[in-house]
Structure 1
Amino acid sequence: MASAVPSTLLEALYTDILRVPPTPARVPFDIYAFFAYVLPPCLFYQVVAVLVILPGTRMLRIALWPLIVFLAVRVEMFVDFSCGNPQWSFLNVGCVLIMFCIVIRTLDWALVNGPLKRPVRPAPSFLVDAIDLTVNFRGVGWNWSKGIRFPPDTRPTSRLHFAIYVFLSALFHSFTCGRGTIFDDTLPPLIRYTRSSIISIVAASVVCAGMQTRYDIGTFIGVAVFQQDPAQWPPLFDAPWKATSLHDFWGYRWHQLVRRTLIVLGGWPLGFAFGRVGYVVGSFLASGVLHNVVLATLNRGVEWWTMLLSFGMMALGIIIEHTFTQMTGRKVGGWIGKAWTMAWLLVWGSMIMDGFARAGLFACWRPFITAAPARWIVEHYVTTLDRWLRACAS
């Protein structure tokens, strides 16, 4: 009987490895789902990463891309990582983001002419280089990362001290992480938007802390376990709150993890057709598409235009800055630039956060947040402030 289960699993994998389920019902994530659905696109992702650093493989990469699209979409549509538990729906979001990036990154690798190279700190094996390429979203040390400005690194240079630093940073940010719509129509407009702005700022801080936690964990594993050079893990953010223009915020201070993905998806196509304006608009519309995919994963009833409008307006803001520079010869900056940046981010960022809230993202349970000591302090003051605002409205 013991050998019957593995035999049945292998037979199922043999017949179902490329099969589309006959019903729209999603498959709960288990060992079978992992091997039949999740592993195939990940393996082909790695295969294309190997091919793109070898010469003379472009046609093979192009031929493999439609298969990767099919396998990735198959995972997104038919595997339920939450196993029916709404509080674990953030796992489905993570899966969708990963598969989305796999599709766009392999498209990028399929279209590139020559092999990608890592002139800085080359690995002893092309296989190690390929593994680095699959997880290196910003292209640190690769020849395709030109134009990306990495934040200045003030962390310790010693490998041991660096590992300890990022471990403590991961703990700190995990404990500082941590709704329906954030716009309450029962309140007067001034109080309503004051309340939504406060919620948006708190939510943005949670997003930053959550991303920093995951990045610190990845950094610790890379440096302490796989003995990577700390220089391969430059800082993720560069004090976004210090931005003096929208270009400064989105181009340098905010994380650049999906910069290349968004450029390939929207920047290059619209840039080819409409020049610099098309490049900017296309990149931000691609970001809107990516975030809308996240919303649709959580709640298919959320309006699709929310993210496209919000990120489209971010593009408009950068175009306004560029027009101002052309007309006056001066770049947007100083305290006026900071006020302009924060006001624009707050207006359209609130719409982004409202989209996340209505989709139910903030209701998901996430590791550390439930038990985070800071969560109770933040909730206490936010709740107190909310009561005060409602009292002012009555």
Structure 2
Amino acid sequence: MLPLLDGLRLPTTKVLLTTETFASRVLPPLACSFATAFLVLLPRTQPVRIALWPITAILAFRAATSLDMSMEQPDLTFLNMQLQVSSCIRINCHTVQLISQISMFLIAARTLEWTVQTKPFVRTARPSSTDVPKQNLVLDTIDLICTARGCGWDWSQGLYIPPETHPTSSRLAFATSVLVSGLKHLFLCGAIHSAVRSFSPDTFGSVDGGTIFDDSLPPHLRYLRSSIITTLCAFTIYSLLQAGYEITVVICVLILRQHPDQCPPSFDSPWRATSLREFWSRRWHQWLRRVFIFFGGNPLYLLFGRVGGVMGAFLVSGFIHHLQVLPFDPSSEMWRMMLPFGMMGIGMVIERAVSGNKTGGWIGWTWTMCWLVLWGNVMVDGWARTGLFGSSSALDSATPVRQPIERLVRTFDEYLHAISRKP
């Protein structure tokens, strides 16, 4: 009993990530997560899951608050963010990535949903590949652990899967096409991130952080500049998530012999959205959709109906994004994430009240992009103040066009300040 109590004791100081601390701090909550996933596939196991969840939650909290993955280097603080809350780069392929699957918050959150589930989860669709067995509890457990969207499971009703754009005639053709796309997105991520940091390398482009709003510029130029930064940040995030997912898909298909239909696309050209509803429910990734619905959408739907369901999902999203920035700046104000995500929900309510589900065309596109950029300014400014953009990136230094991009951004910034001084 004493060793168990020692293992559950919450830490007072952080320790560096080593093989020993990984085994003692990270593996226990992972093991509990696998055990809960296995049990939720079996009938009459809820009492065991109820007894197991508090232990899982304590172990996950202990790991998130006790490990320092930055190796005491400020430029690597983003690794602690990945430990505590991750975007689950790996989706629906049978593998466990260190960065994505040791997200301690998501382990606690997902196992709670599995704990309250009264009936066993059921796979409604399986890969078309003939070399995959029809039923296998072990493989189903791994798939449940690794899938965030729930492709092929009964709990993912209403999930939108983007159409496949890569050739599926063979694994090799599919993997080659995905690899080329992944490398392209890696390049774009490094190039755009370099551009963002170049706007202000001594403030929000450094680990010290700072605002994206330049008070030395008049309002119209100030918000033009911040909106450009916000748009570039959006494409940086998109490129990073796409690259991580696509490179993982290549590994899963070529090495782990997964079928291409187990790795559907995550994004569907978000910049083409003609409504906020289309953007958030179809074109942006749906990796955390289930968490948002379970913790926010469903409870507030019961209390306030459809409007409450929409607002609840976005408020949970804002809270999770707030948790992500705490490793960078523990004093970060929660409203900087809650406000913009809450306004996304309000925007969807306004959209439905004005036009129902018929928003479209260039008017719908303009409305969507303006609303996203408007409140994206607040969100990106919140990230910038924590020093998130100052984290070191091998992609930046490896980008061959980094120096021309930096010169171009500096020239543009100098031009804005020059015209602001004209009478």
Unmatched 5+ stretches in structure 1: 1-12
Offset at residue 253 of structure 1 (A)? 0.3
Q: In the alignment, is residue 189 of structure 1 matched against residue 219 of structure 2?
A: yes
Quick one: structure 1 residues 320 and 15, their matched pair in 2 at CA, closer, same or farther if it must change by over 3 Å? closer
Offset at residue 16 of structure 1 (A)? 4.6
- The CA distance in 2 between the partners of 1:84 and 1:201, in whole Å, is 31
Question: 2:393 matched to which residue of 1?
Answer: 366
Aligned ranges for residues 144-163 of structure 1 at < 5 Å?
Answer: 144-157=155-168, 158-163=170-175
Match among 105, 108, 117 for residue 110 of structure 2: 105
Q: State the percentage of identical aligned residues.
A: 46
- The CA distance in 2 between the partners of 1:306 and 1:51, in whole Å, is 39
Aligned ranges for residues 1-394 of structure 1 at < 5 Å?
Answer: 16-21=6-11, 23=12, 25-97=13-85, 98-121=103-126, 124=133, 125-157=136-168, 158-178=170-190, 179=204, 180-326=210-356, 331-394=358-421
Offset at residue 390 of structure 1 (A)? 1.3
Which secondary structure does the structure 2 equivalent of 1:373 belong to? coil
Which secondary structure does the structure 2 equivalent of 1:272 belong to? helix
- The CA distance in 1 between the partners of 2:305 and 2:18, in whole Å, is 47
Contact 1:299 1:359 in 2 (8 A): yes
Letter aligned with residue 330 of structure 2: R
- The CA distance in 1 between the partners of 2:361 and 2:405, in whole Å, is 31
- The CA distance in 2 between the partners of 1:280 and 1:354, in whole Å, is 24
Which secondary structure does the structure 1 equivalent of 2:330 belong to? coil
- The CA distance in 2 between the partners of 1:319 and 1:185, in whole Å, is 33
Larger mean CA deviation between 106-115 and 252-261 belongs to 106-115
Corresponding pairs, count: 378
- The CA distance in 2 between the partners of 1:377 and 1:279, in whole Å, is 47
Contact 2:268 2:283 in 1 (8 A): yes
Contact 2:8 2:55 in 1 (8 A): no
Quick one: structure 1 residues 376 and 137, their matched pair in 2 at CA, closer, same or farther if it must change by over 3 Å? farther
Contact 1:262 1:283 in 2 (8 A): yes
Letter aligned with residue 18 of structure 1: L
Letter aligned with residue 354 of structure 2: F
Quick one: structure 1 residues 382 and 232, their matched pair in 2 at CA, closer, same or farther if it must change by over 3 Å? same
Which secondary structure does the structure 1 equivalent of 2:214 belong to? coil
What are the superposed Cα offsets for residues 285-322 of structure 1, whole Å, 9 maximum, x if unpaired?
00000000011121012211111011000000000011
Letter aligned with residue 345 of structure 1: L
Unmatched 5+ stretches in structure 2: 86-102, 191-203, 205-209
Contact 2:78 2:327 in 1 (8 A): no
Contact 2:174 2:260 in 1 (8 A): yes
- The CA distance in 2 between the partners of 1:43 and 1:219, in whole Å, is 24
Quick one: structure 1 residues 317 and 74, their matched pair in 2 at CA, closer, same or farther if it must change by over 3 Å? same
Larger mean CA deviation between 384-393 and 80-89 belongs to 384-393
Offset at residue 377 of structure 1 (A)? 4.0
Aligned Cα root-mean-square deviation (Å): 1.7
What are the superposed Cα offsets for residues 142-166 of structure 1, whole Å, 9 maximum, x if unpaired?
1111101111112111111111112
Which secondary structure does the structure 2 equivalent of 1:298 belong to? coil
- The CA distance in 2 between the partners of 1:339 and 1:15, in whole Å, is 57
Contact 1:174 1:372 in 2 (8 A): no
Contact 1:325 1:332 in 2 (8 A): yes
Offset at residue 78 of structure 1 (A)? 1.1
Contact 2:40 2:120 in 1 (8 A): yes
Contact 1:45 1:102 in 2 (8 A): yes
Which secondary structure does the structure 2 equivalent of 1:118 belong to? coil
Offset at residue 15 of structure 1 (A)? 8.1
Question: 2:93 matched to which residue of 1?
Answer: none
Letter aligned with residue 160 of structure 1: L
Quick one: structure 1 residues 369 and 61, their matched pair in 2 at CA, closer, same or farther if it must change by over 3 Å? farther
Contact 2:121 2:153 in 1 (8 A): yes
- The CA distance in 2 between the partners of 1:378 and 1:361, in whole Å, is 20
Give the alignment's TM-score, normalised by structure 2. Answer: 0.86
Give the alignment's TM-score, normalised by structure 1. Answer: 0.92
